[in-house]
Structure 1
Amino acid sequence: MATVEFRKLIKRYGTIEVVHGIDLSIDDGEFIVLVGPSGCGKSTTLRMLAGLEEVSDGEILIGGRNVNETAPRDRDIAMVFQDYALYPHLSVYDNMAFSLLYRKMPRKQIDARVRDAAEILGLTPYLGRRPKQLSGGQRQRVAMGRAIVRKPQVFLFDEPLSNLDAKLRGAMRVEMKKLHQRLGVTTVFVTHDQIEAMTLADRVVVMNGGHIEQTGSPDEVYHAPASLFVAGFIGAPTMNFLPARAVDADTLQLGEGEVVRRQGAGGTGGNVVFGIRPEDVDIAAGTLPPGWVDLTATVEVVEPLGSDTLVFTSAFGTSMTARVRPDQRPAPGSQIKLRVNAERAHIFDAASGRNVLNAVNSSRSGLP
């Protein structure tokens, strides 16, 4: 196992820069997930770490050793790809053993490693089969087994679950979590699926346009998003965003005059964006509690999900979603009052997109 470090890492294709000087330190045994939309630079970053793409500038260190000029086979890493990359003419056993045979490892040692990995992954009954005789999930396990037998310092995963159906993806997430808990190998996992990021990661690295927008635990990026981008990307359904105006340091005005009071919400003044998660929005009933505000909205679509209901509305010409009790199903086209917990809101500067309250809370707690 080993630490991994990116120092001012840059990737250019000709004159076009696609990764812009990122810095990241990954602890020994940590499970890091790089997440972001297509084209954000996450796979390119992973491929530079693997040695499949040249570094244009900056450094990559594995276990404290600069590997910029080190060949992929000499980096002591193992990579699992989206398409599994199995040899169709070889058995499961031979696919898992291939890299060890290539390195001329003794046969007895190869057999022990393959059978140990097969036992961990539940592949022992399938060692004699060919890839075409396996399900998608079983093929993914073989690809993971081929990585495990090498006992590398670092595992790299490039969207390995994207070809599986939703149910199988959920099952494989659990298996990968168990595998990491058992082996404890430093892991870098790339995905565009924020559910995979939130459920698998020790730390999530949210990327956007070749930059790192935020690094933190799943709870941190969900409950304290650093920017509008992070707030909108992490969470399903996405966070609600309403335009607002700062009246003073602790007061905002929404829509047609609704006033929200919360310490520090006004930031430095001017135009801001009021962000609120759907689970912090309810259908108004009874007396308005302190710290809450009611907003008039028109119901557009209602989605019953069994455990709860999603109510999609329009408020002040902006879409707004509420996650409410399963028995709450207002009629489409009806006008309702949405009750918002202002203490759970996030306030973003309209110009920079940065979270105003993060800066306020950091200054109060003495954090940088």
Structure 2
Amino acid sequence: MVQKKKEGALTAEEKPIVKALLKRGWRNQDIQHLLNRERIATINSARITEVKKNSELKPASDDAVDFFIVKKNAYDPVTGLNFYDDERLIRSREAMILAVQSFNSPVLRFKAEQFAVQSNIAWTYLLHEYFERKVGKIVGKDGRSLLLSQMIKRREFPLSRGVANNIRDMIDIRDNVEHKILRRSDKNFFSLFQANCLNFDKSICELFGERLSLQNELSIALQFTKLDFTQTVELQKFDIPEHIETLNAELHNRLTEEERGDLDYRFRVVYTLDHTSKSKAHFEFIQPGSDEGKQIHSILEKRVIADEQYPYKPARAAKLIAEKSGREFTSHNHTQAWRRYKIRPSSDAKDRSQTDKDFCIFHPSHGDYTYNDAWIDFVVDKIALDREYLDLKAVRFR
């Protein structure tokens, strides 16, 4: 048997409003449409007819009716938030949007300050709304509204320790970077900022509904320079003021290794060349708590590169290429091949590990390179396709 959906009922406040709207000449269907705006349990026309027949019910004042209409028209059609009922959540979302936009802006220089300040505002509004709905008040014994630093320590705090640790760092960063010289240390906090964004979006959805997600309103920032990961790592070693280095040390040392590894605390983009070349690599942002995020997190704890995935030393690789291609192929030809297709650096390169992991890896423990089956097949295919080499006794890669 199909259970009939429960209908809504008019509240004591709404009945006099309906009576006044009827007195103004509103039709039943128009009143019904107004009342059901963003209403969970909608009412039907019969409820309005009941009010119409109730001669003892007094209509609401003109001011009350006018405010009711204004309030009903103040719902955001995307989020369902009402400016009068949900002002904190509206301000919370806007503060986080400002935090991200200021950090992503190519012309703004005060990125860390802007993000830290705005994200603190965003989290404060969000948690104030949660605590008022859950506990009933957001005012401490001193008569002041609860501080963000106080709310993350309360027993009723609804989020994980990793989220709390990340918010605590945002508070400390805000307090330490305001009105101070940062030079180029903004990027030093990027992983914390990214985690803060993901945590905020996840938290506001879990606490107040999926419609409040910011994912459709913010996008990844584009840039006009090619992102070179080696250069980025080198850049982080320089131009960091002493007080920022001190702050980094404090943030790092007060957590356990397990807490520092929490994806809710610090977001990590794992850029790996273990299974792809640089030209094929790309970023993908995934919520740490999602099924895919948990799967990736568990995979990252395993050793990805295994010797059995790249089992062939150069001489063995050359022999297999000769066997599969049916042509003469020496170790010298093999050297010509990896040079031509640039799958590994030269032996005197500063960083010998920058190989094309589709085909080859470097072993720092014994200082040599090994190759996989994909490399064997790749070279064999090149030999078969290159008609220039078919009449030569040996294959040349120049």
TM-score, structure 1 length as denominator? Answer: 0.30
Give the number of the structure whose residues are more often strand, by fraction: 1
* Structure whose alpha-carbon radius of gyration is higher: 2
